[in-house]
Structure 1
Amino acid sequence: MPKFAPNLYHLFTELPIRKRFAAAAAHGFDAVEWHFPYELPKHELKALLTDNGLQLVHALMPVDQSVTWGLAGQPDKIDEFKRSAELALEYAATVGIATLHPHPGQMPPQYSQEQCLDVLVSNLDYFCAQAASLDLTLVLESVCTIRAPKTMLRTLGQAAEVVKEVGRPNLKVLYDSYHVRNEEAGSLCAIFDEFQEVIGHVQIANVPGRHEPGVGDVDLQYFISHMHECGYRGWIGLEYDPLKDTASSLSWLANYKGIRAKLSK
Structure 2
Amino acid sequence: MPRFAANLTMMYREHAFLDRFGAAAADGFKAVEYLFPYDYPAADLAALLKKHNLEQALFNAPPGDWANGERGIAALPGREDEFKLSVDTALQYASVLGNRKLHFMAGLVAADADRARHRDVYVRNIAYAAAQAAQHGLTVVIEPINTRDMPGYFLNLQGDAKKICDETGAANLKVQFDLYHCQIMEGDLAVKLKQMMKNDIGHLQIAGVPDRHEPDLGEVNYPYLFDLIDELGYDGWIGCEYIPKGATSAGLGWAKKWLG
The alignment's TM-score, normalised by the length of structure 1, stands at: 0.93
Name 2:37's counterpart in structure 1. Answer: 37
- Residues in 1 aligned to 2:142 and 2:150: alpha-carbon distance in whole angstroms: 15
Deviation at 1:195, TM superposition (A): 1.2
Find the counterpart in structure 1 of residue 150 from structure 2: 148
Q: How many angstroms apart in 2 are the aligned matches of 1:100 and 1:125?
A: 13
Q: Is the 8 A contact 1:7 1:238 kept in 2?
A: yes
| Partner residue in 2 for 1:72 | 74
Matched, 1:84 2:86: yes
Alignment partner, residue 15 of structure 1: 15
- Structure 2: which 5+ residue stretches go unaligned? none
1:87-126 equivalences in 2 (<5 Å) = 87-108=89-110, 111-126=113-128
Aligned residue for 1:115, secondary structure, equals: helix
**Contact between 1:34 and 1:56, CA under 8 Å: does it hold in 2?**
no
Q: Give matches, 1:57-68, under 5 Å.
A: 57-63=57-63, 64-65=65-66, 66=68, 68=70
Q: Take 1:144 and 1:194, find their aligned partners in 2: how far apart are those partners?
A: 20
Does the aligned pair in 2 maintain the 1:143–1:154 contact within 8 Å?
yes
Q: How many residues align?
A: 257
CA distance, structure 1, for counterparts of residue 225 and residue 142 of structure 2: 21
For the 8 Å contact 2:111–2:152, the answer to whether it is kept is no
Alignment of 1:1-265 (within 5 A): 1-63=1-63, 64-65=65-66, 66=68, 68-108=70-110, 111-186=113-188, 188-196=189-197, 197-256=199-258, 259-260=259-260
Alpha-carbon displacement from aligned partner over 1:4-45 (angstroms, at most 9, x marks no partner): 001000111110011111111111111100111111101111
| DSSP 3-state at the match of 1:76 | coil
Summarize deviations over 1:153-212 as a string: whole Å, max 9, x none. 1110000000001111111001101100000042x1111111112000000001110111
**What one-letter code is carried by the residue in structure 2 that aligns with 1:142?**
P
Asked if the contact 1:213/1:221 (under 8 Å) is kept, the reply is no
Quick one: structure 1 residues 185 and 17, their matched pair in 2 at CA, closer, same or farther if it must change by over 3 Å? closer
Task: Give the aligned residue type for 1:115.
Answer: R
SS state of the match for residue 116, structure 1?
helix
Note the C-alpha offset of 1:111.
4.0
Backbone CA RMSD of aligned residues: 1.3
Give the Å deviation of 1:108: 4.0
User: In structure 1, how many angstroms separate the alpha carbons of the residues matched to 2:54 and 2:219?
Assistant: 31
The question of whether the paired residues in 1 share the 8 Å contact of 2:180 and 2:206 is answered with yes
**1:67, distance to aligned residue in structure 2 (A):** 5.0
- String of CA shifts for 1:64-95, please: whole Å, max 9, x gaps: 32351101100021111111111101001111
Give the partner amino acid of 2:168. Answer: V
Alpha-carbon separation, structure 1, partners of 2:215 and 2:154: 28
Q: Secondary structure at the match of 1:84?
A: helix
Alpha carbons of structure 1 residues 213 and 185: separation in structure 2 relative to 1, 3 Å: closer
3-state SS of 2:216 partner? coil
State the Cα distance separating 1:151 from its structure 2 match: 2.0
Deviations 1:234-265 (A, max 9, x none): 11000011111101221111222xx22xxxxx
- In the alignment, the residues of structure 1 paired with residue 71 and residue 83 of structure 2 have an alpha-carbon distance, to the nearest angstrom, of 12
Contact residue 11 and residue 240 of structure 1 kept, 8 A = yes
Local SS of the residue matching 2:78: helix
Q: Percent identity?
A: 40
Partner of 1:263: none
* Counterpart contact for 1:36–1:59, Cα < 8 Å: yes
